[in-house]
A = this chain, B = another copy of it.
Amino acid sequence: MSDRERALEHYQPVAGNGLLHRRLFLAGGAAVVGAGSLGLLTARPARAQSPPGLPEWMRAPGAGMSGYGRRSRFEEHVQRYVGSAPGTTGSGSSRTPLEQLEGTITPNALHFERHHSGIPEIDPEQHRLLLHGLVERPLVFSMDALHRYPMVTRIQFIECSGNSRPNLSSEPPATTCGDIHGMVSCSEWTGIPLSVLLEEAGVDPQAQWLLCEGADAAAMSRSVPLAKAMDDTLIALYQNGESLRPAQGYPVRLFLPGYEGNISVKWLRRIKLTREPTMTRDETSKYTDLLPGGKSLIFTFPMGVKSVITSPSGGMAMQGPGLYQISGLAWSGSGSIRRVEVSADGGETWAEAALTEPLLSKALTRFRMAWRWNGGPALLMSRAVDDAGAVQPTRAALLTEKGSQVSYHNHAIQVWQVAADNQVTNAYA
């Protein structure tokens, strides 16, 4: 087979409307031999063999070093979407601008926030964590004491159960990926397994739940099942290498991988072991799913299998027909991602995307696919499958199952409409 034939094979469609095989991402250099000669990519031929003239920033020494760095002023438009309840500045949410990021780690400064009475500024010297209730030995921990315990490190996502709610409205809101889906973020978390602290306190056999309380002005409180506390729950102290930020619970938070974000109580000050869930305000007035027929579901903790294409996505403009990278994120609250499929024709045909390895449990997984856009209308969708075989539902299927009152846990497939005028918009299909 000639180089040209091999290259053509690598650029052959694998599903409708221009989707190309994922081997372009998987096989490295050898996979794209000769691709350039097909003129499929986006570079322009250079006019000369000589380097371009010296730009102004090469004519004088640049800026000095610093103790704690900053981003470029040309990137300052990359901001979270902030929305507060009327009359407050700190009760509401800010959402990660997913469409402006790449990879899987969310920078701490852009991690989504959801607060119930603002961000407390806690002095770590004064902060204490109390472990009491149905235990043999009530214990109180200073931050210095906590920092001597055995720690573990894991890359995992956190997602608000109210994420993607805008797409439950009757008409698709004309906005961006992050504005709709940005209440999910992923970090490298380091902390103490909660099981270690529970074993030190000695768990009373009658205990089945934990009341976990934050040190914010709302004393945000949730009930946690003991089984989850003994499984993979962390007392988190570090996020992406540095101490937690105040907006993420400084100096210490609870972290329950895969569970709805609200239960990972920030500014953690108290854990009380109990026989029954405490039925706090924060788990009865909110975070409860209304069902068809008037019933409601409470304590629906794991987030469903989900994915979203972050580029191209709502509010972006294409640069005309040609080759593009489709890039997105997939995750499951129950484990790792097994497969992501992408469609460019509204779900008629699908092709498998390339997944970034390693495939970590309860972490954001980046998927990518090459797409040759012909300049015509297209409907882009992604569909994730997790390692338990759970499949991301369509919006219609989710609404049929959950009913029209559904408000939390929307993990339905996102559809982005690409129009011939280069505009990309949110769509239901």
Chain A interface residues toward B at CB < 8 A: 24-25, 28-30, 32-37, 41-52, 55, 57-76, 78-80, 82, 84, 88-94, 100-111, 113, 115, 117-124, 126-128, 130-133, 136-142, 144-145, 148-153, 188-190, 193, 195-202, 213, 215-217, 219, 230-232, 237-238, 240-243, 245-247, 250-251, 269-270, 272, 319, 322-325, 327, 356, 358, 360, 366, 368, 370
In the complex, the count of this chain's copies comes to 2
Determine the chain B residues whose CB is within 8 A of the CB of A132 once the complex forms: 46, 49-51
Contact between B71 and A215, CB atoms less than 8 A apart: no
Query: Do A325 and B153 touch (CB < 8 A)?
Result: no
Shortest C-beta distance, A40 to chain B (Å), equals: 9
Knowing A68-B80, A217-B59, A327-B151, say if A105 contacts B42 (CB, 8 Å).
no
Is B65's CB under 8 angstroms from A247's CB? Answer: yes
Q: Decide if B113 touches A241 in the complex (CB within 8 Å).
A: no
Query: Shortest Cβ distance from A176 into chain B, in angstroms?
Result: 14
A44 CB contact (under 8 Å) in B62, B63, B140, B151: B140
Q: How far is the CA of A79 from the CA of B57 in the complex (A)?
A: 27
A241-B110 contact, Cβ under 8 Å, with A63-B90, A72-B121: yes
Q: Are A29 and B196 in contact (CB under 8 A)?
A: yes
Report the separation of the CA atoms of residues A69 and B244 in the bound assembly, to the nearest whole angstrom. Answer: 12
Does the CB pair B101–A238 fall under 8 Å?
yes
The docked-state distance in angstroms from the alpha carbon of A28 to that of B233 is 10
CB-CB nearest in chain B for A144? B319
Q: Among B58, B127, B322, which residue has its beta carbon within 8 angstroms of that of A216? A: B58
> Which chain B residue shows the least CB distance to A125?
B74
Beyond the given A57-B120, A60-B217, please list 14 additional residue pairs across the A-B interface where CB-CB is below 8 A. A28-B193, A43-B139, A52-B130, A57-B122, A62-B217, A65-B84, A66-B82, A66-B94, A67-B82, A67-B94, A72-B243, A100-B242, A103-B153, A153-B366
